[in-house]
Amino acid sequence: MPHALRPSLRRFPPSTCLLAVACPSLSAQAPLVGDAYRLAAEAYRLQKAGDSGGALRATEAALARAPGNPQLLALKRDLLFATGQLEAAEAVNRTLMARRPEEPGLHLFLAYLRQRQGRLEEALQEARGVEALPSVPEADRRQARLLEADLLQALHRPAEALATLEALGGERSLEVESRRAFLLLAAGRPDPARQTFEAALALQPDPAGRRILLLGLRDAARSSNHPEEELKALQDLHAQDPASRQIALDLAYALLARHRDQEALAVFSGVLDAQSPTGAWLDAGYAAQRLGRNREAATYFSRGLDARRAAGLRDPRLEYGLRREIESLERQWGLVSGTAYRQGGLVPGISSQQRILQEGLEAYWQPPALAREGRMVQVFAQVFETLYSGSPGAAGGPTLQGVIGVRAKPFATQNLVFAAQKLVRLGTFALDDWMFRGAYSLDEGTDLRPWQDDWPWWSLYTEGASFARSGRYLHQLEIRAGHAWRLPAAGGRNLLAPHLVLAGDYDSRLDPRYAGGVGAGATLRHWFREDAHHAPASWIELTLQGRAQLTSASRGGGIFLTLTCWF
């Protein structure tokens, strides 16, 4: 049972018990007068003000003028106890016991003293001995049983403690109900404990007691699988003590467990500071990310990174993952340029059977409101042309093709992208049509791994495209598998990945329609634009492949060279 709900000398001063039974004998003594009375009054005033040291000095001065006065001795004993002078307090108590050996309050004090010293078995025997004394007032008998129950619980004997409380005849006071609730919880009976905690709370404890009972109710509700009651207890605790970081964090995590991200984030935002656990910053970031509050999520992740570094925590893989997440969350636009030389192409308006060299540029914008937890929508514009084409293909300005479109990634965990785009004729041989595309990709190891020198590397990309006016349908597939090495130059931001490649395409306008090739190649990629909170935002990549054709279509084999810059 938490200490705040146990009977203690602070809540139940032994002198109160003593004076309650000692008054008849005290009345036979000469009353305190003069300096003794004045000093005693000053001692009580200082004790009430919380100045135990000053009260002790005033009491000793009063005893010098009224030696042996039992009321002053009881006060001195209590003040010695309050200032941690336990042996001296016991000595004064034994002086009083020598005068009144059957005084229950003195035996109770000794039991409390043994409890304070951690001598629990001795304290238990002393508390049980109170009931054997003759003429024990009911108030002292009750106090002894409450103390006995506390000691039995501290000794991990909850069943005996519950039996001791039952000896109080079914009393349903706050002191009894609070103890019974914690004992039931300790005995592994969370359901009756939960009900008893609620009964104790209905008795209107003080704020400190209410807090302890709510904590117990939270634990009992959790153990008895009553999640809503657990959450209600945490909400009440937070309302009572909004400045408590631990209570607020417990509440935030309880809300997260119930998928109430918005409420959890509101609690996180009100409590997170430089002293908060590093994980709390990250969990707040994930909640904000799920809510589509990307910039807020990036801020939480950045603070979490700072907190981890300040705490001396080092996990390069986790840190890089967070930096990559921050970069992705804050990205709203991009530029992509590409130059490709290949045996044939799948670009509208270009003969797919010829060797060609093409160049293109794309600019895109990603509306923040539509980027949420891995889902996104992008608006883009492209322009590309053929720089060289084998005879009789066209090249230069007449092949200039414009594109305006929108694409969407509707699933958080699947890299499936749909696009609708208008082909704008800028050159004589360009197309004026609508194209609808669907693409899917998987990859592993294509991003930088600063924590590793080398790792397996593979990718799969497939895309289909249909033209609205001409009815033409295109499809392509490329699978790469190899191993990546991180090169030491440029701060370890270069990657070399030799690989095998299997590729193919389908074009409903060509004969033969199917083409395929298999071969080997190498990819060299360099990353740049990074800082302490952002993974590299840009890269430039050169890929060279040699493929042998698998079908009669010559476009499936030959040399394939691409240079791509993602900014």
Domain ranges of the chain: 1-171, 327-566
Contact status, residue 436 vs residue 466, Cβ threshold 8 Å: yes
> Which sign does the torsion angle of CA 167, 170, 175, 177 carry?
positive
Residue 356 has a pLDDT of 87
User: Is 0.85 topped by the overall pTM?
Assistant: no
Distance CA 437, CA 337 (A): 20
H or E element, residue 516: strand 514-528
Fold annotation for 327-566: Lipocalin (2.40.128)
In the chain, the N- to C-terminal Cα span, in Å, equals: 61
Cβ count within 10 A of residue 483: 14
Residue 488 has a pLDDT of 87
Range 504-507 contact pairs with CB under 8 angstroms and sequence separation of 24 or more: 504/476, 504/477, 504/550, 504/551, 504/556, 505/346, 505/352, 505/474, 505/475, 505/476, 505/477, 505/555, 505/556, 506/473, 506/474, 506/475, 506/476, 507/346, 507/352, 507/472, 507/473, 507/474
40 burial (CB, 10 Å; 0-12 / 13-18 / 19+) is buried
Residue 345 has a pLDDT of 55
- Do the two domains 1-171 and 327-566 of this chain adopt the same fold? no
Residue 347 has a pLDDT of 53
> Percent helix, strand and coil across the chain, each rounded to 5?
45, 25, 30
Distance CA 397, CA 71 (A): 110
Which residue positions in the chain have pLDDT lower than 50?
1-28, 348-351
Residue 518 has a pLDDT of 98
Residue 21 has a pLDDT of 30
- Which superfamily does CATH assign the domain made up of 1-171 to? Tetratricopeptide repeat domain (1.25.40.10)
Contact status, residue 281 vs residue 301, Cβ threshold 8 Å: yes
